[in-house]
Amino acid sequence: MKEMSSTMPSGQQPQKHYGITSAISLAPPREIDHQYTDKLCDAMKPFGVFEDEDELNHRLAVLGKLNNFVKEWIAEISELKNLPPSAISCVGGKIFTFGSYRLGVHTKGADIDALCVAPRHVERSDFFQSFFEKLKQHEEIKDLRAVEDAFVPVIKFKFDGIEIDLLFARLALQSIPDNLDLRGDSILRNLDIRCIRSLNGCRVTDEILYLVPNKENFRLTLRAIKLWAKRRGIYSNMLGFLGGVSWAMLVARTCQLYPNAVAATLVHKFFLVFSKW
């Protein structure tokens, strides 16, 4: 799903195209397409695929608290490891989200996939011991459990009613700035395989969002396709069907092939393209 541009004849501006082939159609949406897209939204509403403003704000507040929590914990660990005060004040630490929440297609009551990114002096064992203990002391946190020997190790908990799966990655950096971008491959150098796996979710999600022509059209289309797949019982990695990331990639590719289309058209084209491929 790489991003490319092709040159146009007679000195026109190059037409940016997404993916490794040019678009199938650059046609803009017609009035009827917008109407169908509105109808598509209305048809999805009864299935609880859209969160209201209050729920969205609640999630943002919980993630904000968790982010502060991580920064606090990393500063405490840094102090224990005798880092100088000047270094402790800027060690940072950050929570990144990935999966359906980061893509902006999560449904009501869905869990949040998140990643705790720490600087190089914070060990994985610190995360599963001292951070786990710190979470345990917090009254808003319930159902806390650690799955340390999983393929991708995780701490699972409910924070003020929202389920969170928290992974851990330790980067080869002295500090973690707030504006850190995980997309560059250079950050993977000299990392433990478990950290690379933990980073994968965020990197794939960010890459998908970067490579679609219009994020809103992509999100609405993906919501529709996910709902369709779930209603038909074919949305599950564990049962041998496609999981969330796979459906997202298929929808992203459809968006690349029809960069100017709106969601109603994209849903139609999705089935057209993949029934033929």
Q: Which residues are catalytic?
A: 100, 111, 113, 165, 226, 235
- What is the spatial order of strands in the sheet that 154-159 belongs to? 94-98, 112-118, 162-170, 154-159, 141-147
Assess contact for 139 and 193: CB atoms under 8 A: no
Please answer whether residues 179 and 92 qualify as being in contact, where contact means their C-beta atoms are separated by less than 8 angstroms: no
Report the 10 Å Cβ neighbour count for 264.
23
- The CA-atom distances, in angstroms, between 196 and each of 68, 96, 101 are 24, 14, 21
Candidates 41, 38, 8, 36; CA nearest to 22 is: 8
- Which residues make Cβ contacts (< 8 Å) with residue 52, sequence separation at least 6? none
Residue 44 exposure: Cα atoms within 13 Å on the Cβ side: 26
Q: Is 77 exposed, middle or buried (0-12, 13-18, 19+ CB in 10 A)?
A: buried
Cα gap 182→203, rounded to integer Å: 6
3-state secondary structure of 179: coil
Q: State both tokens at 253.
A: 């590719």
- At position 7, the amino acid (one-letter code) is T
Question: Per this entry, what is the length of the chain?
Answer: 277
